[in-house]
Structure 1
Amino acid sequence: MIISLRRGLRFIRFIIFFSALVYLFYNVLDLFNGWISPVDQYQIPSGNAVKVFQETDWTVHGEGRPSLAERLRLFYWYGE
């Protein structure tokens, strides 16, 4: 079996070039990650902001657990 030195060096050069491009592509995507990803809605408020939410107590209305239709309606109403 004959192994060509020129062919081996060309293969090594290809692997190095391919690895460099993958590394560059990864870093470019990582750069835009902060811009693309949505704002964290559940972070702790800063400054004078106050985080407000309402917990629903379903047993107050005498209903017990809400029906599937009611839960689905609330899901679409809140958009979460």
Structure 2
Amino acid sequence: AIRMVEEGVASPEDIDAAMVLGYKFPVGPLALTDIVGLDVRLGIAEYLESQLGERFAPPQLMRDMVARRELGRKSGKGFFDYR
């Protein structure tokens, strides 16, 4: 989902709506990322990359958002605005 935003395929709102409405997810993947925290998800992705290879490298957008301290709900801004 993050790569889709990064590549301009769809907005975070549209991606989450598609997953909730189309696949009956209780919450969209980007809203869930905001709940968990982008910093936490980045750490997981970096670990997976170190263990499983380049295919699991975190998207650059995730790295950029963490660098800007856009961590999700805990910072008030992530893929969605919580302020």
User: Could you say which TM-score interval applies, normalised by the shorter chain?
Assistant: under 0.3
More helix by share: 2
Give the TM-score taking structure 1 as reference length: 0.21
Higher RCO structure (Cα 8 Å, ≥6 apart): 2
Q: Which has the larger radius of gyration?
A: 1
Give the TM-score taking structure 2 as reference length: 0.21
